């Protein structure tokens, strides 16, 4: 028996071609430009350093998108986990070992454990409450740096971090560092893209779309949000650990709310929930920040303006703009043939 529900539906139903092409194109572009960068900036060590910082920023951006892009939970204090990783890895390398293979996993595990405890409370909150509590958390971590200043160096920052080793070999050259960081970014990016295709990743999107409905189809929304929060904190702490080992020092600025704001801007600039977008957003932001701030002290005003513009005009961020250009190009081509 047929049961087609004969409704006066508009014939122009939008087909959802879940096209992977733009994702793939962006991914390949990123991979090629990124991987070969040290080769074409040999004469400019500064540029390579800036690129390394951009890669670290990209990992943090990715970590926030794991949370916000997947579950819709907006964090105003994501620097908490970035700073946590930086300080913990810094302290471990000063007091325990400079071997990355040891201290980085330790740092990530510690961050995940703490995040699981803190997150269990946080993810029960929604919307504004969650955002405010994440901000409060980052302020607590920030304050802790000063409270424990004989360990952390307080305002002066944590200094004198020994050269990190990887399987016993000192990582000194800036090329080696760049490729190491870049490798971590690509693996993280691949992991985040993969997660999106798994049942967990799809259930996360269901939570972002309609949390209430998700729970009525049997999704334990609290548990899944917590998983996202822990993954996100873990990846942010990895970025922080890499940063401190690369940089050789860390100051409390990494825990400042301003840093959290920047991380959020990377994600919004790139396109919330697009995974690849925030990576580009972070890279672009890092370069722009450097060049614009060398021209004018008022760079923050321009960035604030840009931020507002993006939120209003292109809420999909760079990635959204790219996708619509691609779509227009494609339909345009279709019409001419």
Partner 1 sequence: MTLEIHGLSRRFGGLKAVNDVTTTIADKSIHSIIGPNGAGKTTLFNLITGALAPDEGKVAFNGNDITGWTPERLAHAGIARTFQRTSIFKELPVIENVALAVRSRRGLNRSMFCSMAQEKAIREESREILARVGLNGKENIRAGSLAHGFQRALDIAIGLALEPKIMLMDEPLAGMSRGDRETVATLITRLREELGVAIVVVEHDVGMVMRLSDRITVMQHGKVIAEGPPSVIREDEAVKNAYLHGNFAA
- Which residues would be at the binding site for partner 1 (CB under 8 A)? 1-10, 13-18, 195, 198-200, 202-203, 205-206, 209-210, 212-221, 223-224, 227
User: How far apart are the C-alpha atoms of 84 and 93, rounded to whole Å?
Assistant: 14
The residue among 13 and 331 lying less far from partner 1, judged by its C-beta, is 13
Classify residue 254 by its DSSP letter: G
The residue among 155 and 209 lying less far from partner 1, judged by its C-beta, is 209
Classify residue 255 by its DSSP letter: G
Closest approach of partner 1 to the CB of residue 99, in Å: 29
Helices (H), 75-220: 79-95, 100-122, 127-147, 149-152, 174-197, 199-209, 211-216
User: How far apart are the C-alpha atoms of 137 and 217, rounded to whole Å?
Assistant: 32
Q: 176 exposed, middle or buried (CB, 10 Å; 0-12, 13-18, 19+)?
A: middle
8 A C-beta contact, residue 20 and residue 26: no
Closest approach of partner 1 to the CB of residue 273, in Å: 10
Closest approach of partner 1 to the CB of residue 9, in Å: 4
8 A C-beta contact, residue 174 and residue 299: no
> What Å distances lie between residue 27 and 34, 214, 238, 325, CA to CA?
10, 30, 21, 17
Closest approach of partner 1 to the CB of residue 227, in Å: 7
The residue among 39 and 217 lying less far from partner 1, judged by its C-beta, is 217
Q: Please report the DSSP string for 147-169 in residue order.
A: HTHHHH-GGG-B--PPPPEETTE
The residue among 140 and 200 lying less far from partner 1, judged by its C-beta, is 200
The residue among 1 and 312 lying less far from partner 1, judged by its C-beta, is 1
User: How far apart are the C-alpha atoms of 101 and 89, rounded to whole Å?
Assistant: 11
CB-based contacts of 195, cutoff 8 Å, min separation 6: 66, 70, 201
Closest approach of partner 1 to the CB of residue 281, in Å: 21
User: How far apart are the C-alpha atoms of 149 and 158, rounded to whole Å?
Assistant: 9
Closest approach of partner 1 to the CB of residue 278, in Å: 19
The residue among 3 and 337 lying less far from partner 1, judged by its C-beta, is 3
The residue among 218 and 334 lying less far from partner 1, judged by its C-beta, is 218
3-state secondary structure of 99: strand
Would you state the structure tokens that stand for residue 298, as one six-digit string?
Answer: 């008022």
Classify residue 171 by its DSSP letter: -
Closest approach of partner 1 to the CB of residue 108, in Å: 17
Closest approach of partner 1 to the CB of residue 331, in Å: 17
The residue among 20 and 101 lying less far from partner 1, judged by its C-beta, is 20
The residue among 16 and 313 lying less far from partner 1, judged by its C-beta, is 16
3-state secondary structure of 307: helix
Closest approach of partner 1 to the CB of residue 13, in Å: 5
């Amino acid at each position: 028996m047929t049961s087609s529900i004969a409704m006066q539906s508009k014939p122009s139903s939008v087909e959802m071609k879940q096209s992977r092409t733009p994702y793939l194109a962006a991914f390949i572009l990123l991979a090629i430009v990124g991987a070969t960068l040290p080769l074409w900036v040999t004469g400019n060590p500064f540029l390579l350093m800036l690129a390394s910082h951009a890669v670290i920023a990209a990992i943090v951006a990715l970590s926030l998108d794991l949370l916000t892009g997947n579950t819709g939970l907006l964090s105003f204090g994501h620097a908490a986990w970035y700073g946590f990783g930086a300080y913990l890895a810094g302290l471990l390398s000063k007091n325990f070992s400079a071997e990355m293979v040891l201290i980085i996993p330790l740092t990530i595990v510690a961050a995940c454990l703490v995040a699981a405890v803190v997150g269990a409370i946080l993810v029960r909150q929604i919307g504004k409450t969650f955002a405010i509590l994440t901000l409060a958390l980052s302020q607590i971590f920030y304050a802790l740096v000063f409270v424990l200043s004989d360990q952390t160096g307080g305002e002066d920052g944590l200094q004198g971090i020994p050269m990190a080793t990887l399987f016993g070999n000192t990582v000194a050259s800036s090329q080696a560092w760049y490729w190491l960081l870049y490798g971590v970014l690509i693996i993280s990016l691949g992991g985040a893209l993969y997660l999106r295709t798994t049942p967990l990743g799809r259930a996360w999107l269901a939570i972002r779309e309609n949390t209430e409905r998700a729970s009525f189809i049997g999704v334990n929304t609290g548990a899944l949000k917590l998983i996202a929060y822990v993954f996100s904190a873990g990846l942010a702490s990895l970025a922080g650990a890499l940063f401190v080992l690369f940089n050789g020092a860390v100051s409390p600025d990494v825990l400042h709310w301003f840093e959290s704001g920047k991380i959020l801007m990377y994600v919004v600039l790139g396109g919330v929930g697009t995974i690849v977008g925030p990576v580009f957003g972070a890279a672009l932001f890092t370069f722009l920040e450097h060049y614009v701030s060398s021209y004018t002290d008022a760079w923050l005003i321009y960035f604030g303006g840009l931020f507002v513009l993006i939120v209003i005009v292109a809420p999909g961020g760079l990635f959204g703009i790219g996708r619509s250009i691609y779509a227009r190009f494609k339909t345009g081509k279709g019409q001419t043939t």
